[in-house]
Amino acid sequence: MMAPVTVTSTDPTTGWPVPDPADEVRIHYNPMPAAERVAHYTGLVRTRLLWLGVAAAICLGFWFISRAQLDRATTIALFAAGVGYSVVWLVMAVVGLVRSRRILRSIGQGIAVRIGRWGIDIHGAAVPWTAVTAVRARRHRFSGYGPDLAVETTAGTKSLPWLFLDTLPGTVDAAVQAYTAGARRLDISRLDH
């Protein structure tokens, strides 16, 4: 049998009881992985710009040495092949940088997930265990965020990317099992598909 929850006050916005903080698992937002991606793509853009300059210099040098033998079509082909390749890589790096900056800006601050005897609160949406149908780790194929922590309820699904969290799935699994007395656990089967 589960011990009674110690309620110290009631949250005025949700009306939910606010349990003793020592009796719940709190998972905070972690911007470091996203900040590392921004730093990676920033360096990649710099490198691609450098290589674009090198490619342009080589093409100009080759054109300057042999411009008498080159007609207009060959000159255009030379620059398109030599500089175009570097431009494509530069564009890919800039797109990655823009996406990673957008991801970093979308990460919240403070507590992302609270798990306790009363239920689970994910990104400010508190749900009692009686309304939770599943707690899953799932992957989106085209997401720049990576896998999600998803709480499926009778009213819909609440999710948050693992990239935003400062913990690993094992911690969430252990907390869910502990606070539901083994009735639920983190389902990771959707990460394989």
In the block, tokens 């494509």 appear at 88
pLDDT at 160: 87
End-to-end CA distance of the chain: 37
Question: Are 96 and 131 in a shared domain?
Answer: no
Total domains in the chain come to: 2
**Does residue 1 fall inside a structural domain?**
no
pLDDT, position 1: 39
Statement to judge: residues 86 and 122 lie in one domain: no
Task: Find the domain containing 90 and state its range.
Answer: 33-106
Q: How far apart are CA 118 and CA 25, in angstroms?
A: 12
Residue-level pLDDT, tens digit, the chain, 193 residues: 344 444 456 666 666 656 566 678 899 998 998 899 999 999 999 999 999 999 999 888 888 888 888 888 888 888 888 899 999 999 999 999 999 999 889 888 888 999 988 899 988 888 899 899 989 888 876 666 778 888 999 888 888 888 888 888 888 999 999 998 888 888 888 776 5
Residue 134 shares a structural domain with residue 62: no
> Which of 106, 132, 150 delimits the end of a domain?
106
Name the H helices within the chain: 32-65, 72-106, 169-179
pTM for this predicted structure: 0.69
* 169 contact partners, CB below 8 Å, separation of at least 6: 137, 149, 162, 186, 188
Same domain assignment for residues 47 and 87 = yes
Rounded alpha-carbon distances, angstroms, from residue 113 to 20, 91, 93, 184: 15, 36, 33, 17
Within a domain: 4 = no
- Regarding whether 89 and 43 lie in a shared domain, the answer is yes
The answer to whether residue 132 is domain-embedded is: yes
Torsion-angle region of residue 155: left (phi > 0), alpha (psi -120 to 50) or beta?
alpha
96 and 122, same domain (yes or no): no
**Which of 106, 136, 169 is a domain's end point?**
106
Q: Say if residues 170 and 118 touch (Cβ distance below 8 Å).
A: no
The pLDDT value recorded for residue 2 is 43
DSSP strand pairing (17-19 vs 7-10): antiparallel
In terms of domains, do 54 and 77 share one? yes
Q: Given 75, 106, 137, which residue is the final one in a domain?
A: 106
Do 122 and 96 belong together in one domain? no
Residue 25 lies in a domain: no
Six-digit token pair at 34? Answer: 């996203």
Six-digit token string for 150 = 């998803």
Question: CA 58, CA 61: separation in Å to the nearest integer?
Answer: 5
DSSP 8-state code for residue 146 = -
Same domain flag for 152 and 181: yes
